[in-house]
Amino acid sequence: MQQSLEEIEGNAWGDPPPGASRLVVTVHALRRRPVGELGVEGLRVLIGQREGLATLVPLALGELERDPLAEGDFYPGDLLAAVVRVPESYWREHRDQAVRLRAVTESVDLGELDEGTRGDIAAFRGCEY
């Protein structure tokens, strides 16, 4: 995909406010980058901030289906951690994607993940999407 989130959504944010945090500056920059160039870390950051979910979650699921422990800048499985924390309302509206995520979570050895991510995956697995 050569369009950015700003182009896809038709919502240009402009420059970050003066004195903005590094995270805010990063999110602004990532929203301007072509979606196809975001990579695992860009997907992790934007999904973690609940930005562009309808566009980005399917891309993240593709990454996770190839490598469930795909790693951004933090740790193996950090993309999975961001995706599994997407609000329930999203999964209820995108049940086909929830099925894909469930398959990914079931393929993961929970012992390879941090305690918080294990808990989030267990909670996701227990939901009826």
Domain that holds residue 64: 5-125
pTM above 0.75, yes or no: yes
* Measured distance between the N- and C-terminal CA atoms of the chain, rounded to whole angstroms: 28
How many domains is the chain partitioned into structurally? 1
Whole-number pLDDT of residue 35? 97
Which residue in 92, 79, 85 sits closest to 122, CA to CA?
Answer: 85
| Residue 124 clears pLDDT 90, i.e. is over it | no
pLDDT digits (tens, 9 = 90+) for 98-112: 999 999 999 998 888
Backbone phi, psi, residue 38, to 5°: -70, -35
Which residue in 118, 96, 100, 97 sits closest to 108, CA to CA?
Answer: 118
pLDDT digits (tens, 9 = 90+) for 33-54: 999 999 999 999 999 999 999 9
- Structure tokens that stand for 24 in this block: 């805010």
Q: For residue 15, what are the CA distances in angstroms to 11, 20, 55? A: 13, 10, 22
Confidence of residue 129 (pLDDT cuts 50, 70, 90): low
Is residue 71 packed enough to be buried (19+ CB in 10 Å), middle (13-18) or exposed (0-12)? middle
Helix (H, G, I), strand (E, B) or coil at 52: coil
State the greatest distance between any 2 C-alpha atoms of the chain, in Å, as a whole number. 44
Average pLDDT rounded to a whole number, residues 18-40 = 96
Confidence of residue 126 (pLDDT cuts 50, 70, 90): confident
CA pair distance 77, 108, nearest whole angstrom: 9
Average pLDDT rounded to a whole number, residues 63-86 = 93
Pick the more confident residue, 125 or 12.
12
- The residue to which tokens 């975001």 are assigned: 38
What percentage of the chain carries pLDDT values higher than 70? 99
Backbone phi, psi, residue 34, to 5°: -55, 135
